[in-house]
Chains A and B, each alone.
Chain A
Amino acid sequence: MLKFTDVTKLYHTGDTALKDINIHIKAKEFVSIIGHSGAGKTTLLKLILAEEGPTSGTVTFEDVDIHKLKRSNINKYRRRVGTVFQDFRLLPDKTAYENVAFAMEAAGMDDEAILNDVPHALDLVGLKHKMHSFPDELSGGEKQRVAIARAIVNQPDMIIADEPTGNLDPVNTYEIIQLLKKVNDLGTTILLTTHNVGVIDNLGRRVITIKDGQVALDSHEGKYIL
């Protein structure tokens, strides 16, 4: 599904962010990416989201080089990839319902589909009762659930979760990971970056360790080892 082939990313300062990365992620996998701060995890995700391009090598999604897509096709591609961030990145002047609905509106869905699917997505993350709350009226865990609802509402092929539990307490962390597992069980590929040892060890899924911009370890039932 997602393939990194000999990917190297250099910044104009001369720093090497990623070097000779070769990763193949299959559909419906749950893959965790771990590494120290500055190891290159965020750069890896930026390349997947086409926020940045590689210096050399290719990143393909279903055999299409995503960095050769036209601007309009990048928008379409991004609709197939849901994103969840550590800092939630919700639209502050929109309610939980409107935040989730926005992703559907942006994808060009009609009003009827939005009316049906948004409450359903919020129900799936356990927040149907707070659909009319604004982000500043929600707790950290609740905000992250809204972000997950927004990420899944368009039924993407893959979800990228960049440190989604970084700002959450252990209870919320557990619940968010359970939610991501649930989404994965429903058939969506999950790509998770985290620093949380407990999360990785309990998941028992594939773990890719990045060290100094290179893949140091790729284990299919991995533990948190740096």
Chain B
Amino acid sequence: MIFTKIKRTVKSGAISFWRNGSVSLASVLILTVTLTVITMVLFSGVVLSSTLETIKNKVDIDIYFVKGATEDSILSFANEVKKNPDILDVKYTSRDQAYQNFKERHKDEEATIQALTEIGDNPLPASINVKAKDPNKYDSIVTFLKDKETALGNNNIIDKINYTEKNQQAIGSLNRIINASNKLGILIAIFFAIVSILITFNTIRLAIYIFREEVSVMRLVGASETYIRAPFVTVGILYGLVSAIVTTIILLPITHYAGNWTEKLGTGMNLFDYYRANMLMITAALVVGGTMLGAISSFLAIKKYLKV
């Protein structure tokens, strides 16, 4: 019997969805806008986080060594530096490598390359590049490096530590801005979600209001609350399901357009690539969110008309 009931409910819901096409269309449109807005707000959060990560990754410390420093002494110094728990990575660039890199970087600038050749000797120093695990730790890392430099005494091989506090300050304020933006983004997402849910709820309530007379007839022929409610909830689920599929499709051109834009802005990501890579998960979330929204709205909206 339970199978028969489920079959009847699904059939009745699907028929109602189809036969009341205009009501279904309006509800699906509202739900689609809701899901699209919420997804876009969440996407903006992802873009902001990626931007912050990109900028954080651009901050580093370069340590240049005197010309006479041997590779062994530099590598031994680099190994010492690596032991600091705040340091993520240390990369060594030899003088020859630096020379090659320079030539590669300026290969189209004939005058520069010519000037380099005229010098004869390789003027570029060897260096190590230091990256911190947390950008807020650069200050303490610089202090640590300077202490190391002092400790070397007469055997000092360091020529220059290239790091300015201004970088740190800029990163700090950017960090704060992006954190604040993220918090604001979450608030906006919550606000939009609440507004959209209310609009969806009211749209479905309006759709069910049209059927209030029918609900009272159903009650009078002895249909139970569950039996009346189930097809309406099924229709709500169908609204959500169709909206989720439509939203998934709509997001393709939106993210495609926004993808180039996010890449050019230096956010460190292409929104379209991100969407494609996570499409299955996002679609699943949209389907779950959409059907829940549709079902809960219908469930609550029908309640009012069941008191006959």
Interface residues in A31-86 by Cβ distance below 8 A to B read 49, 51, 71-72, 75-79, 83
Q: Could you say which of B56-64, B135-143, B222-230, B272-280 contacts chain A?
A: B222-230
| Chain A hits for B1, CB < 8 A | 108, 110
| Chain A hits for B15, CB < 8 A | 93
Task: Please pick, from B8, B214, B227, the residue contacting A91 in the complex, using a CB distance under 8 A.
Answer: B214
B115 at the interface (CB under 8 A from A): no
B221 at the interface (CB under 8 A from A): yes
A/B pair count, beta carbons within 8 Å: 51
Instruction: Give the shortest distance, in Å, between B305 (CB) and chain A (any CB).
Output: 14
Is B213 a contact of A89 with CB atoms below 8 Å? yes
Report how far A76 CA is from B223 CA in the complex, Å: 8
Instruction: Give the shortest distance, in Å, between B228 (CB) and chain A (any CB).
Output: 8
B19 at the interface (CB under 8 A from A): yes
| Chain B hits for A76, CB < 8 A | 222
Interface residues in B161-207 by Cβ distance below 8 A to A read none
Instruction: Give the shortest distance, in Å, between B8 (CB) and chain A (any CB).
Output: 6
Is B308 a contact of A103 with CB atoms below 8 Å? no
Report how far A51 CA is from B219 CA in the complex, Å: 10
Other A-B pairs, 16, CB within 8 Å; known A51-B220, A71-B225, A78-B222: A49-B220, A77-B222, A78-B220, A78-B221, A79-B221, A93-B20, A102-B218, A102-B221, A102-B223, A103-B222, A105-B227, A106-B222, A106-B224, A106-B227, A107-B222, A108-B1
Q: List 16 A-B contacts (CB under 8 A).
A: A49-B220, A51-B220, A75-B222, A78-B220, A79-B221, A83-B220, A90-B217, A91-B214, A91-B218, A93-B19, A93-B20, A106-B221, A106-B224, A107-B222, A110-B1, A154-B222
Residue positions of B touching A, CB distance < 8 A:
1, 4, 8, 15-16, 19-20, 213-214, 216-225, 227, 308
Residue positions of A touching B, CB distance < 8 A:
49, 51, 71-72, 75-79, 83, 89-93, 102-103, 105-108, 110-111, 150, 154
